[in-house]
Amino acid sequence: MNPENDFFDFGTSAYKGRIKPPEPRGLLSLPIFHGSYTVVGGPSAAAIPGMTFVCLLEEFHKVKSDIPIPTKDYDTPEVKLLDYGLAQAVWAIIRGKPVYVGCMAGKGRTGLFLSILAKAFGVPSPVAYVRAQYYPHAVETPQQYDFVTQYRIPLRVRLMVMAAHLGLFKKYTEDEREG
């Protein structure tokens, strides 16, 4: 075995040798626009180019991301960072942009953020929903579960989602896609 041929270079996403590239862990369907919108989640190393990438790695600067929310493994994010990142992710979703959410393995922190997104879009039991739709072991710790349960969706995010459900962004998103 040649160690030079068996590595993953996070900077170039170049896989060599026998190591299989990571793949997205799953999909989460969110209720929006009288239909649904699908978010992709998984390991940060499997982020799909061209998608808005929400990165929950503590060392987010080591990967290229659009929405960094640095969070320690098995922990919860700072509320101010989450509020800001959630607003950006919801705005991307409303505009019809594809969104990928990732951390190291795509389970705990990714599941936490997906649960917060589900909560923002009005899903009544967001952790159970994410575990049923995305991955059974999403939201890995009791601390993460409690965080999702106690987290209050910021007013501006609730207003964005409400406006989206009412179709107030429809004209904007159609114009943006055409132009």
65 has a pLDDT exceeding 60: yes
Residue type for position 66: D
Share of the chain above pLDDT 90, in %: 68
51 has a pLDDT exceeding 90: yes
- Tell me what the mean pLDDT of segment 58-86 comes to: 93
Tokens 């997104």 map to which residue?
Answer: 117
Among the listed residues 135, 113, 144, the one whose alpha carbon sits nearest the alpha carbon of residue 24: 135
pLDDT in the model for residue 176: 55
73 has a pLDDT exceeding 60: yes
pLDDT, mean over the chain: 85
pTM of the model: 0.84
Contacts of residue 154, defined as CB under 8 A and 6 or more positions apart, other chains included, come to 83, 86, 87
How many residues are present in the chain?
179
Q: Which domains does the chain have, with CATH numbers?
A: 27-173 (3.90.190.10)
